[in-house]
């Protein structure tokens, strides 16, 4: 077996797994409905993760009663502060949204020491605008 020498990893830089392992991880099935246990039982909504990056996540919030979308939650963790922005249909309990954020970003899962949350209500379903960020020309 041939030994491969690797350059030392600079301090502060994370080592990535080998490409073969990354490919296996990428193919692993994942249930996106990962809603942490909250203090609010019974729950009025559940969350499905839309996307995840190194420093943040976006979640759609869905009514337990009728399965309709009741809002979204965007969370950014800069390792100093966890910033959460939620927009929910009027009548959705803000305490339950705040509890969800606390369940997603527990003190053991982040180095942040502060949490800031902004939760707003809407009456009519907001429109979704999409655009292509690539410039043509």
Query: Does residue 111 lie in a domain region?
Result: yes
3-class secondary structure, 26: helix
Q: Has residue 38 been placed in a domain?
A: yes
Asked if the structure places residue 60 within a domain, the reply is yes
Residue span of the structural domain in which 71 resides: 32-122
Q: Please indicate, yes or no, if residue 97 is contained in any of the structural domains.
A: yes
Structural domain contains residue 10: no
d(CA 83, CA 135): 30
Total domain count for the chain? 1
pLDDT of residue 111: 87
Q: Read off the pLDDT of residues 46-91 as tens digits, 9 standing for 90 and up.
A: 888 888 888 888 999 988 888 888 999 999 999 899 999 999 999 9
Tokens of 134: 């690539």
The answer to whether residue 94 sits within a structural domain is yes
């Amino acid at each position: 077996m041939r030994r491969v020498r690797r350059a030392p990893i600079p301090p502060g830089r994370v080592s990535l797994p080998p490409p073969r392992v990354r490919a296996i991880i990428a193919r692993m099935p994942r249930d996106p409905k990962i809603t942490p246990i909250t203090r609010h039982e019974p729950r009025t909504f559940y969350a499905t993760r839309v996307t995840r990056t190194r420093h943040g996540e976006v979640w759609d919030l869905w009514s337990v009663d009728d399965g309709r979308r009741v809002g979204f939650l965007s969370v950014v963790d800069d390792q100093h502060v966890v910033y959460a922005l939620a927009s929910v249909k009027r009548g959705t309990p803000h305490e339950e949204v705040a509890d969800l954020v606390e369940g997603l970003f527990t003190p053991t899962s982040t180095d942040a020491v502060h949490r800031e949350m902004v939760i707003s209500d809407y009456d009519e379903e907001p429109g979704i605008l999409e655009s292509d960020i690539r410039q043509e020309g």
